[in-house]
Amino acid sequence: MIAWEFCGLVEALLSKGHRVVWFAARGVRPSGCPPLPWSLDAMADDAISLLDHLQIEQVTGIGYSLGGFTLERMALRRPERIAAAVLMASAGGADGIVRNGFIDAENAFAKQAGQVPVHFSRLMTLMTALGGDELTNPETIKQWWELLAHQGDQWAQPHGEIGQAQVALDWKNSGGTTGSPFPDSVRISLLYFGQDSLFPAHEASAVARHLGSRTEIVTVENAGHAGLLTRPEETTDALLGLLERWRSASE
């Protein structure tokens, strides 16, 4: 939710004539925080229920990070509701060492201690949000470290972080993006950040081969996993370009 609020993407989409629905996933304010355990299917059902409530039959979706996992599952389970999907900093196979280590550690902490340590979340978010030269720039590191002191404020309830960790584990255990064949009816594009250690751009070719020949790959360079925030203009331009190419192809 924070990323969509501050990156300028929503305003840019509206200025180009798109209708936009954006929301906070379960666990993140102001959305609800149902009891554990959570699953990826439940996250997808949340989004489908929102579309039903708004009486929207079909959408082009942009899913970022965990939101990309949700969009994948929506496309797999309800392909008639997803015309096209952009998976942004979220598409990968089952063998990503850094992301698997992060996901497994969060869930191990939650299982053993009932919570994910605040300092662990803050440090890991810092180390993965930034990339390349950003991680050696003292001023950038200081700004992000101070910003992440308030990271826990996003959760609707304390167990929201655990629930989202469970969803990420569900995605990983399902084989990631390459765990199931994708429906041909859903057009997919992949957006990677060039220095993202969680979803490294070198995975793009293998993921695209799995998704099919129409899959387009776009990379925003000089950014880590938080590229939507650290490179907002470049990321927004890349997304608008994808949508415009889709629109032109359908005319």
Q: What does the buried/exposed string (b/e) look like for 89-121 if buried means 16 or more CB atoms within 10 Å of the residue's CB?
A: bbbbeeebebbbebbeebbebbeeeeebeeeeb
- Whole-number Å distance between alpha carbons of 40 and 57: 21
36: helix, strand or coil: coil
Cα–Cα distances (Å) from 105 to 4, 80, 115, 135, in that order, read 27, 36, 11, 22
CA 16 from chain centre, in angstroms, equals 23
- Give me the domains of the chain, ranges plus CATH numbers: 2-250 (3.40.50.1820)
Residue 103 to residue 164: CA distance in whole angstroms: 10
C-beta separation of 85 from 75 below 8 A: yes
**Beta strands of the chain (E only): which ranges?**
59-64, 82-88, 187-193, 216-220
Q: Using CA atoms, how far apart are residues 235 and 230, in angstroms rounded to an integer? A: 9
Q: For residue 219, which of 199, 190, 241 has the smallest C-alpha distance?
A: 190
pLDDT at 3: 80
* Sign, CA torsion 87/194/154/174: positive
pLDDT digits (tens), the chain, 251 positions: 568 778 899 999 999 999 999 999 999 999 999 999 999 999 999 999 999 999 999 999 999 999 999 999 999 999 999 999 999 999 999 899 999 999 999 999 999 999 999 999 999 999 999 999 999 999 999 999 999 999 999 999 999 999 999 999 999 999 999 999 999 999 999 999 999 999 999 999 999 999 998 899 999 999 999 999 999 999 999 999 999 998 888 76
Tokens of 200: 């490294």
**Cα–Cα distance, 64 to 61 (Å, whole number):** 10
Q: Is the peptide bond before 30 cis (omega within 30 degrees of 0)?
A: yes
Instruction: Write out the two tokens for 90.
Output: 């979220």
Give the model's pLDDT for residue 135: 95
Please check whether residue 188 is in contact with residue 62, taking contact to mean a CB–CB distance below 8 angstroms: no
